[in-house]
A = this chain, B = another copy of it.
Amino acid sequence: MLFATGSALYSTGDPAAHIFVIRDGLVKLVQYLADGTQRIVRLLHQGTIAGLDALVDRPYEHTAVTLQPTFLCRIPIGAVHRLDAACPDLHWQLIERLKGSLHEADEWLTELSTGSARARLARLLVSLAGTADECEIFSRENLGAMLGVTTETASRTMAEFKREGLVTEMGLYRCRCAVEALREIATE
């Protein structure tokens, strides 16, 4: 199935009936706070699974929204259980996935929720760039929700980086990053 940017795979509290294997694209997992502001707790990219809540038969804890056009397979949880009975190895794959998510969650906390806004944004850009030096970014609002800062701060910090020549925006939501220099800032 193909989802356009900005569509929700599921929402907090929905009965968890499917898991979603992401073939291509990008999905954010959002959690809403008591005061209504939102916090992005994880990104799911190619090869990862959204909706793992369904494994333990409880409602979805997050809202999953695409950040890019996303192509994925939606698998009813019943089918997962049938597959599981047939293929004894599936558990371990699921365990592997869950462990991967947990690792992501811990990194998210230490990398993107600790230190100054400058350092956090630098870390985010470095990790989005991966081995390349060009990467997809997102609206200032999304950047803010990932880093736990306001959209204004996200905007200002991006502007700062651009002024310093560390980041060059290459059209909407795509930018070139001076990865090494950013890595420096990331450790501050």
Band of interface residues on A: 35 or more
Contact (Cβ within 8 A) A41 B109:
yes
Contacts of A168 in B (CB 8 A): none
* Secondary structure class of chain A's binding surface, majority of residues: helix
Chain B residue contacts of A34, Cβ below 8 A: 186-187
Q: Does the CB pair B31–A106 fall under 8 Å?
A: yes
Q: Closest CB of chain B to A106's CB: distance in Å?
A: 5
Starting from the known contacts A55-B95, A113-B148, 15 additional A-B residue pairs (CB-CB under 8 Å) come to A31-B106, A31-B110, A33-B114, A35-B188, A39-B110, A41-B106, A52-B99, A52-B102, A53-B99, A55-B99, A56-B96, A62-B106, A91-B94, A102-B105, A109-B109
